[in-house]
Chains A and B, each alone.
Chain A
């Protein structure tokens, strides 16, 4: 398996523009997580899905953020409109809950977002 695939790796956009981050989880994994990493706040869980259904979105900072998982192999995180304070590295991770040996997450390489 190629692992968790995120795109793009880097995104630079102007304030006010819409940004869409993409994630392809590992095939067979039934949990998908979106995290944001900044120097000031560390790793923050934004939202997670189980079997494509959002379970907990309490970490989504505000209405400008939205996430979807239309099928088991694809998820998006959208920011509209973007602001400079959204600049961060956004990670997607997936996991499989079916076996005790697999309770860790597999992370993607992240998308570094810069809003100017």
Chain B
């Protein structure tokens, strides 16, 4: 079975500052990793995904994430955030042999002016 731990429930940050949202996962088999974003009163949108290959993956809205197999982490980063990035971010994992995705508890990013 897989599990996902998002280490911060809330991250406040000033506009134009860099941000890192941390995610650790646990699995006994190979996995695919995802980050989703949820804006208020909306469904989740796929931000980026790691399937294989390069460990640094780039997504929409200037976000990127790095897969670290030895540390079982998949942290999300953005070098300069905007007010519009205020949302909840979910890390998710799925084993490569299945189709059931497990989501973390979410990290609420709050960008202040």
A and B associate: yes
Question: Quick check: A91 and B103 within 8 Å, CB to CB?
Answer: no
Q: Inside 8 A of B100's CB, which chain A residues have their CB?
A: 45, 48, 56
Residue on A nearest B96 in the bound complex, by CB: A103
* B residues near A104, Cβ cutoff 8 Å: 34, 36, 46, 49
Which residues 37-89 of A have a CB within 8 angstroms of B? 42-43, 45, 48, 50, 55-56
- Verify B43–A110 contact, CB threshold 8 A: yes
Q: State the Cβ distance, A47 to closest chain B Cβ, in Å.
A: 10
Beta-carbon contact of B99 and A108 below 8 Å: no
Q: Out of B51, B94, B101, B102, name the residue touching A100 (CB < 8 Å).
A: B51
Given contacts A91-B43, A108-B43, A109-B43, contact A103 B103 (CB under 8 A): no
Cα of A97 to Cα of B105 in the assembled complex, Å:
25
Q: Which residue of A lies closest to B101 (CB)?
A: A105
B44 CB–A CB distance under 8 Å: yes
Question: Is B49 a contact of A42 with CB atoms below 8 Å?
Answer: no
CA gap between A55 and B104 in the complex, in Å: 22
Tell me the count of chain B residues lying within 8 A, CB to CB, of chain A. 21
Q: Which of B9-30 contact A (CB under 8 A)?
A: none
Contact B43–A4 (Cβ < 8 Å): yes
Please tell me if A107 contacts chain B, counting CB pairs below 8 Å: yes
| Contact code string B43-77 (vs A, CB < 8 Å = 1, else 0) | 11110010100000000000000000000000000
B84-113 vs A, CB cutoff 8 Å, 1 = contact: the mask equals 000000100010000111111110000000
Separation of A58 and B49 alpha carbons in the complex (Å)? 26
0/1 per residue, A20-45, Cβ < 8 Å to B?
00000000000101010000001101
Complex: how many Å from CA A37 to CA B27?
A: 23
CB pair B45–A103 under 8 Å, yes or no, is no
Q: Which B residues lie within 8 Å of A110 (CB)?
A: 42-43
Q: Which residue of B lies closest to A3 (CB)?
A: B43
The 10 A-B pairs with the shortest beta carbon distances in the complex, nearest first, are: A107-B43, A104-B46, A43-B103, A107-B44, A42-B105, A109-B43, A108-B43, A104-B49, A110-B43, A91-B43
Residues of B that sit less than 8 Å from A by CB? 32, 34, 36, 41-46, 49, 51, 90, 94, 99-106
